[in-house]
Amino acid sequence: MLTPINMQALATRLAGLEEVKGRSLWADARRRFWRNKAAVAGLAMLAICIAFAAFGQAIAPFSYDFIDFNIMGHADELGRPSLTYWFGADDQGRDLFARTAMGVRISLLVGLIGTAISVVVGTLYGAVSGYLGGRIDGFMMRLCDIMLSIPFMFVLILMLVMFGKSLSVLYLSIGLLSWPAMARIVRGQTLTLKAREYIEAAQATGVPTTRIILRHILPNLLGIVVIYATLLVPDIIITESFISFLGLGVQEPQTSLGTLISDGAKAIYYDTLWQIGFPLGFFLLLMFGFYFVGDGLRDALDPKER
Amino acid sequence: MLTYIAKRLAVAVPTLLALIVISFLLMHAAPGGPFTYEKKLPAAVLANLNAKYGLDQPLWRQMISYVWGMVAHFDFGPSFVYKDRTVNEIIAQGFPVTFQYGGWAFVMAVVCGIGLGVLAAIFQNTWLDYLSIGISIGASVLPNFVLAPILVLIFTRWLGWLPGGGWEGGDWKHQLMPILAMGTAYMASIARIMRSSMLEVLTQNHIRTARAKGLPTWKVITRHALKPALIPVLSYLGPVFVAMITGSVVVDMYFSTAGVGKFFVDAALNRDYAVMMGVTLLAGGLTILFNLVVDVLYAWVDPKIRY
């Protein structure tokens, strides 16, 4: 029987309880991820790329803009991959090992920074839109639709031409143009989360709104955000490479994978295949790496798959 | 249905207007104009040039006259760089070429993608399935600017079968590599979407019924499974269409086909705002129109959808 005194005791005991530590979603996901061979292989590919981007320029015998005038114009004979030029040299006589390392670094940076911007903007926008609902939601999503139906690549090129072809403009404009897809995903997830019993329970027990969002909604959004962020990075790298391939992105003597592939693609008529082979190899390594890791994360984190 | 189309068109108008305003403001927020050359022009010449192209008018009036020209006469104005040509002429020259190879690439991506996806689903977990999954994973990480040089290397440099560039009035040999370069990655994505949606449809009750009454497999697929399985593919067609237009930028640069992408990149490098805006707006308008067509197709494929 619950007498008022018992109730009081129960209430004080309940109030004094620490939050229960459950088996977290993330520990679960981690276990599932490590069991997925393709995902681990993808992670290894990414690790290789990141290590190469971080240390490649430091261990390269030449700097990325050093020009060897002996090789200039004779890359097909003198610029072959060798003990001095590990990845060969391009037709301007520059070391491709250092340049590829720089290219991987810049492509990775653009991918990560662009994704970070788009994740922050998209998650905030989507969560606010989904949580507030009603007319505000309708208006915010209509704006999203308008953004999505604008030909992204053309506007991106427009922005680059208008504000100058610099790296920071590239980061910003890619990030600022690619958030609507993320916002939509986050909004959808927020809507389903809002209707869950545990949110209702939290509301019923009087947990303040900000705490509901922080403790219950955001952690549950995190899974889907991480998955789509991982899949967004290669997308943005492709976008950046596309732009750089056209000569509208990263400017000389700096370089990115797109610029290197573009140079290499022009050089295939002169039989200097190492010029396209090495950058392309790392590009594919990055793409496959992110693809497999993203896929593995989806399997590990997607609650629907249990 | 008609009211739905009308409603969608009503939404399309503000979308286009937003696109116009955004690109217009971007244009004018930028430092430097189309007449900023390395050698500075005398002030009087610059003023005359600006007056000729209406650049000395207040911003809102420029915008209104631009929109009016577009709506009333379908006129995108003069090019700032090619003195003797209008944007209309440039678009009229470039778009048919883009549409020709872009259209073929679109058809290839859709037809081959659906075929590959259906085959993979019917023969699930056989070598055919693994082959098509392998192809689609491999192809999905090969965007057009990567695939184009690889194709040229194989078919032009090593085999010598195909010319490495040029258009020659649309000779099929010149079209083949642009089509492959543009369509392959999207073929792969469509195959993947088609496979998973087909697998899902094949587990449903009406398929079991169709099988139980003794229909041959090909008939089950074509008459009962194909239509419902196509729905997710349909929703992907919009992005594919956009990609065919933007992809022409790379194809035109690499294969020297004379499509609209070439003019766009030239305009971007020369700060020829009028051409850039014309192409962007036309691409945007086409995208909106195409998405509308896709939505109408939805209703045809899925009778559950009512507008």
First-to-final CA distance of chain A: 40
Phi and psi dihedrals of A95, rounded to 5? -70, 125
Q: Which of A149, A158, A268 sits opposite B287 (nearest CB)?
A: A149
**Percent residues over pLDDT 90 in chain B:** 4
Q: Which residue has tokens 């994740």?
A: A119
B17 touches chain A (CB under 8 A): no
- Cα A161 to chain centroid distance, Å, stands at 24
The reply to whether residue A238 touches residue B143, judged by beta carbons under 8 angstroms, is yes
pLDDT higher than threshold 70 for residue B39? no
* Helix intervals (H) in chain A: 4-16, 25-35, 37-59, 75-78, 96-132, 134-148, 152-163, 167-177, 179-194, 197-204, 209-212, 218-245, 257-267, 274-301
Phi and psi dihedrals of A2, rounded to 5? -95, 95
Residue B35 has a pLDDT of 65
pLDDT higher than threshold 50 for residue B206? yes
The pLDDT tens digits for A121-145 are 888 888 888 877 788 888 888 888 7
Residue A3 has a pLDDT of 66
HEC-encoded secondary structure of B223-246: HHHHHHHHHHHHHHHHHHHHHHHH
Residue A48 has a pLDDT of 92
Fill in the DSSP letter of residue A268. Answer: G
- Write the DSSP assignment of chain B as a string of letters: -HHHHHHHHHHHHHHHHHHHHHHHHHHHHSSS-TT--SSPPPHHHHHHHHHHTTTTS-HHHHHHHHHHHHHHH----B-SSSTT-BHHHHHHHHHHHHHHHHHHHHHHHHHHHHHHHHHHHHTTTSHHHHHHHHHHHHHHT--HHHHHHHHIIIIIIIS--S-SS--TTT-HHHHHHHHHHHHHHHHHHHHHHHHHHHHHHHTSHHHHHHHHTT--HHHIIIIIIHHHHHHHHHHHHHHHHHHHHHHHHHHHHHH---SHHHHHHHHHHHT-HHHHHHHHHHHHHHHHHHHHHHHHHHHHH-TT---
**Percent residues over pLDDT 70 in chain A:** 92
Phi and psi dihedrals of A166, rounded to 5? -120, 165
pLDDT higher than threshold 70 for residue B230? yes
Q: How confident is the model at residue A18 (pLDDT cuts 50, 70, 90)?
A: low
Q: Mean pLDDT across the stretch B182-207?
A: 88
pLDDT higher than threshold 70 for residue B72? no
Task: Give contacts of A160 with chain B, Cβ < 8 Å.
Answer: 268
Give the bridge partners for A95, in sequence order. A89
| pTM for this model (two decimals) | 0.81
CB A248 within 8 A of CB A164: no
Q: Which residue has tokens 């000779």?
A: B171
Q: Which residues does A contribute to its contact with B (CB < 8 Å)?
A: 142, 145-146, 149-155, 157-164, 234, 238, 241-242, 245-248, 258, 261-262, 264-265, 268-269, 273, 276, 280, 283-284, 287-288, 291
Q: Mean pLDDT across the stretch A236-243?
A: 88
Fill in the DSSP letter of residue A251. Answer: P
Q: Could you tell me the CA-to-CA distances from A70 to A62, A73, A93, A272, B290 in Å, in that order?
A: 15, 8, 7, 16, 55
Task: Give contacts of A287 with chain B, Cβ < 8 Å.
Answer: 141
The reply to whether residue A151 touches residue B245, judged by beta carbons under 8 angstroms, is yes
Phi and psi dihedrals of B293, rounded to 5? -60, -45
Distant-in-sequence, close-in-space partners of B11: CB < 8 Å, separation ≥ 6 = A142, A145
Please indicate whether residue A68 or residue A259 has the higher confidence score (pLDDT). A259
Q: Could you tell me the CA-to-CA distances from B40 to B30, B293, B301 in Å, in that order?
A: 18, 49, 60
Residue B161 has a pLDDT of 78
CB B174 within 8 A of CB B168: yes
The reply to whether residue A150 touches residue B284, judged by beta carbons under 8 angstroms, is yes
Count of A–B CB contacts within 8 Å?
115
The pLDDT tens digits for B103-137 are 999 999 999 999 999 988 888 888 888 888 888 88
CB B259 within 8 A of CB B248: yes
First-to-final CA distance of chain B: 6
The pLDDT tens digits for B134-177 are 888 888 778 888 888 888 888 887 887 777 777 777 677 788 88
Interface predicted TM-score (ipTM) over 0.85: no
pLDDT higher than threshold 50 for residue A305? no
Phi and psi dihedrals of A74, rounded to 5? -125, 35
Residue B207 has a pLDDT of 87
The reply to whether residue A150 touches residue B245, judged by beta carbons under 8 angstroms, is no
| CA closest to B33 among chain A residues | A162
Q: Mean pLDDT across the stretch A97-103?
A: 89
Q: Which residue has tokens 């994978």?
A: A257
Q: Mean pLDDT across the stretch A169-187?
A: 85
Burial class of residue B260, CB neighbours in 10 A (0-12, 13-18, 19+): buried
Give the CA angle between residues B146, B149, B151 to the nearest 5°.
Answer: 100
The reply to whether residue A283 touches residue B146, judged by beta carbons under 8 angstroms, is yes
Residues B180 and B178: their CA atoms lie apart, in Å, by 6
Provide the shortest C-alpha distance from residue B142 to chain A (in Å). Answer: 8
Please indicate whether residue A182 or residue B81 has the higher confidence score (pLDDT). A182
Q: Which helix (H) or strand (E) holds A1?
A: none
Peptide bond into A253 cis (omega under 30): yes
pLDDT higher than threshold 60 for residue B307? no
pLDDT higher than threshold 60 for residue A155? yes
Residue A17 has a pLDDT of 61
Q: Mean pLDDT across the stretch A54-69?
A: 81
pLDDT higher than threshold 80 for residue B85? no
The pLDDT tens digits for A41-54 are 999 999 999 998 88
The reply to whether residue A161 touches residue B149, judged by beta carbons under 8 angstroms, is no
Residue B203 has a pLDDT of 86
Provide the shortest C-alpha distance from residue A212 to chain B (in Å). Answer: 35
The reply to whether residue A157 touches residue B268, judged by beta carbons under 8 angstroms, is yes
pLDDT higher than threshold 80 for residue A23? no
Provide the shortest C-alpha distance from residue A223 to chain B (in Å). Answer: 22
Q: How many CB atoms lie within 10 A of CB A87?
A: 24
Phi and psi dihedrals of B140, rounded to 5? -75, -15
pLDDT higher than threshold 70 for residue B30? no
Please state, rounded to an integer, the average pLDDT across all residues of chain B. Answer: 80
pLDDT higher than threshold 60 for residue B303? yes
Residues B109 and A2: their CA atoms lie apart, in Å, by 70
Residue A306 has a pLDDT of 42
